Structures are given as structure tokens and as C-alpha cells.
């Protein structure tokens, strides 16, 4: 594991492609009914009873068709909303948020979606695509700058630490019998000489990373945006130096747990605003900024969860270690006495 991390979250909406919307709309056809073709029961001869029977059958026919229409519409709506869960050509990125290590979260939104006003204004499919394309370009550029800034900050921090330990002659005791002499050329020369030590790509950390990481890559390919050459395509449980999935860290390979439930388990504050199922409705209501805030909040939650899990899995409490070592020494001494 690199020791440096880029925390990531995305929010998506279903495709705005008229062809995809039309295809989903045709999946659940409902036949028309002809109320004029309704016949009364054959045993009726009294005109008022015949008329009442026809009226009753017509009402039932209309009621059944309305129920069928509502059921079909609900099925179509579910299929349409589910597009945002599957990625590829079926979804658009509404926003992307990330943070490098402990740095502030940055959010990038598809500004074309701001045209939704909840009543009359709707962006065209082409506008949504162009807004998404521009968002991805801006995201990749800013991510690159954030990573290089992080490299510079780590190098500066390392120099400051060495300089603080140096004696008046510029020698630093680095332990183990080794002494380092700070270069007389100064900080910049030392950083240039050692810069490769700090040029470490961050591992991308996300909850259900297999979806977020692949979706960013898919949408970039579809929209003709060039992702960084190092951008991973997928989460792999044996390559945690590239992608870390907090869901897999907790639930195991193939396991499932929502970020909100994981936060509750670990005592991390959960969602107090939108969740993924509400994003499309919020976008249509003109609440793009709120969706971006939700995305930012999820990055913060992922960061907190990852720090807890990583601390538990990769760090050793010194006191516990010393206590365990002392106990082992005592056991060993007793065993030696018994052998003697």
C-alpha cells in the first residue's frame, strides 16, 4: 500500500439519451380498450338493468386499464432509475468529489444539470454530455495538480524534519549508526535529488470502489476524455496499492454493506441529507449544489472509515505489543526453568 490516498465519490443520474429512454418506455406496453364494445349479460332483458350492467363493466374496464398503466409506469420508472446504478452508457456523472490524504475535499459538478429547475427548464442530451465531458476534464487536471502538490508538500515536510534534527554542522543522526549531511546547496537541491522518493501515486479509496473507479473510466472513454495513464480500471483485492474498497475491507470479498450502515457500525456520523436513491429527483428539482454537498460529505465519511479500518488493520499499539512481548518472555523463562 502506498501510504498516500485519494478519497473518491461520485453521484450519478440515469441516461438522458432519448433512444434509451424510448427503449425503456416500450418495454411494458398496455393494450387500449374499447368501452363502446362492452356487451351486457345475455340473460338481461330489462333496459335499466342492461344499461347498469354496461356502465359497471365499462367502469371496471377503465379501472383495470388505469391500474395496468400505473403498474407499467412504475416498472418503466424503476428500470430507468436503475440505469444510474449500472454505469456505462446508461448513466451520467452528476458530480465527482475527491480529497488527497488529509487535504480539503474538492467537488466538480456537471453544470449543464443546473438547467433543471423543477418545472419548465430541462437541458438537452447534448448539453448534458458536454457538461459531463468538461467536468471530467477539469477533474483530471485538478487531480494531477493535487497529486503533484502533495508530492511537494511531503518533500518539504521531510526536509523540515531533517533540518530540525541537524546539528550546527548540518549532520543528522538518522539512527542505526547512520549520519547524513545536509547538502550545502540547501533545500531545493536536496528535494531535487530525492524527489523520486516522494513521487508516489495515491491509492484511490472509495466505498464500492468497483463501481466508482470503473464508471469514471467508462464515462471518460465514452466522452472522448483522456484519463491519466495510471487511472485504474477496476478494483482488485490483491492490488490495494491502486484501489482500496472500504466495503471489501469490512464485509470481505463479495460482501455488501452500505456506507451509511458501516458508518453506524464504526460510530461515524451517517448521512443527514440525500442518499443515492434521491439524487435524480433532487437534480430534476434544481438542487445540483445540494447533490454536490452530499458527494463531498461521502468523501469525508469514506476518509474517516478508511482511517479507522486502516489503523485497526495496519498499526500496532506499542503498549499492547510491549505487554505481549513481556508476557512471552515470562513464559519462555518459566519453560527454561522447568527444563532445567
Q: What is the mean pLDDT of residues 34-59?
A: 89
> Is the dihedral angle over the CA atoms 42, 44, 45, 50 positive or is it negative?
negative
The reply to whether 297 falls in a domain is yes
What is the structure's pLDDT at 305?
A: 96
Mean pLDDT of the chain: 86
- HSE-up of residue 152 (Cα within 13 Å, Cβ side): 7
The reply to whether 9 falls in a domain is yes
134 grid coordinates: 468538461
The reply to whether 338 falls in a domain is no
CA distance 205 to 105: 13
pLDDT, tens digit (0-9, with 9 covering 90-100), for 290-325:
999 999 999 999 999 999 998 745 444 444 445 545
Q: Count how many domains the chain has.
A: 1
What is the structure's pLDDT at 316?
A: 42
Q: pTM score, two decimals?
A: 0.81
pLDDT, tens digit (0-9, with 9 covering 90-100), for 211-263:
999 999 999 999 999 999 999 988 777 777 899 999 999 999 889 999 999 99
Higher pLDDT, 210 or 183: 210
The reply to whether 332 falls in a domain is no
pLDDT, tens digit (0-9, with 9 covering 90-100), for 65-102:
999 999 999 999 999 999 998 878 899 999 999 999 99
What range defines the domain where residue 273 resides? Answer: 5-164+202-323
CA distance 43 to 40: 8
Long-range contacts of 112-121 (CB under 8 A, 24+ apart): 113/13, 113/283, 113/288, 114/286, 114/288, 116/283, 116/284, 116/285, 116/286, 116/288, 117/286, 118/284, 118/285, 118/286
Identify the helix (H) or strand (E) that includes residue 175: strand 171-175
What is the structure's pLDDT at 251?
A: 94
The reply to whether 279 falls in a domain is yes
The reply to whether 178 falls in a domain is no
Neighbours of 74 (CB within 10 A): 11
How would you classify the pairing of strands 243-245 and 106-109? unpaired
What is the structure's pLDDT at 14?
A: 96
pLDDT, tens digit (0-9, with 9 covering 90-100), for 140-191:
999 999 999 988 888 888 888 777 878 777 777 777 776 777 777 778 887 7
CA distance 80 to 187: 57
- Does residue 174 contact residue 181 with C-beta atoms inside 8 Å? no
What is the structure's pLDDT at 333?
A: 52
What is the structure's pLDDT at 77?
A: 95
The reply to whether 78 falls in a domain is yes
Angle among Cα 296, 3, 306 to the nearest 5 degrees reads 45
The reply to whether 184 falls in a domain is no
Q: Decide: helix, strand or coil at residue 79.
A: helix
What is the structure's pLDDT at 132?
A: 98
What is the structure's pLDDT at 335?
A: 43
Amino acid at each position: 500500500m502506498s501510504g498516500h490516498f485519494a478519497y473518491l465519490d461520485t453521484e450519478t443520474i440515469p441516461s438522458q439519451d432519448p433512444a434509451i429512454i424510448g427503449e425503456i418506455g416500450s418495454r411494458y406496453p398496455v393494450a387500449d380498450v374499447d368501452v363502446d364494445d362492452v356487451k351486457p349479460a345475455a340473460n338481461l332483458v330489462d333496459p335499466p338493468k342492461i344499461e347498469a350492467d354496461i356502465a359497471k363493466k365499462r367502469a371496471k374496464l377503465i379501472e383495470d386499464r388505469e391500474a395496468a398503466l400505473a403498474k407499467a409506469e412504475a416498472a418503466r420508472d424503476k428500470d430507468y432509475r436503475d440505469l444510474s446504478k449500472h454505469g456505462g452508457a446508461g448513466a451520467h456523472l452528476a458530480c465527482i468529489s475527491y480529497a488527497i490524504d488529509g487535504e480539503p475535499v474538492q467537488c466538480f459538478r456537471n453544470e449543464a444539470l443546473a438547467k433543471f429547475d423543477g418545472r419548465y427548464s430541462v437541458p438537452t442530451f447534448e448539453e448534458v454530455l458536454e457538461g459531463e465531458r468538461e467536468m471530467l476534464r477539469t477533474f483530471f487536471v485538478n487531480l494531477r495538480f493535487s497529486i503533484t502538490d502533495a508530492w511537494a508538500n511531503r518533500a518539504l515536510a521531510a526536509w523540515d524534519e531533517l533540518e530540525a534534527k541537524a546539528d550546527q554542522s548540518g549532520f543528522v543522526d538518522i539512527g542505526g549508526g547512520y549520519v547524513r549531511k545536509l547538502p550545502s546547496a540547501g533545500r531545493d537541491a536536496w528535494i531535487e535529488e530525492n524527489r523520486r522518493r516522494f513521487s508516489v501515486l495515491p491509492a484511490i479509496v472509495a466505498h464500492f470502489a468497483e463501481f466508482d473507479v470503473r464508471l469514471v473510466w467508462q464515462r471518460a472513454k465514452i466522452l472522448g476524455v483522456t484519463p491519466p495513464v495510471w487511472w485504474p480500471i477496476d478494483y482488485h483485492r490483491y492490488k490495494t496499492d491502486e484501489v482500496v474498497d472500504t466495503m471489501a475491507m469490512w464485509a470481505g470479498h463479495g460482501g455488501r454493506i452500505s456506507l451509511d450502515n458501516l458508518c453506524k457500525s464504526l460510530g461515524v456520523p451517517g448521512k443527514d441529507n440525500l442518499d443515492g436513491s434521491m439524487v435524480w429527483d433532487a437534480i430534476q428539482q434544481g438542487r445540483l449544489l445540494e447533490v454536490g454537498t452530499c458527494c463531498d460529505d461521502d468523501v469525508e465519511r469514506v476518509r474517516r472509515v478508511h482511517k479507522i479500518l486502516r489503523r485497526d488493520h495496519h498499526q500496532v499499539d506499542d503498549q499492547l505489543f510491549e505487554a505481549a512481548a513481556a508476557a512471552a518472555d515470562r513464559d519462555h523463562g518459566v519453560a527454561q526453568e522447568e527444563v532445567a
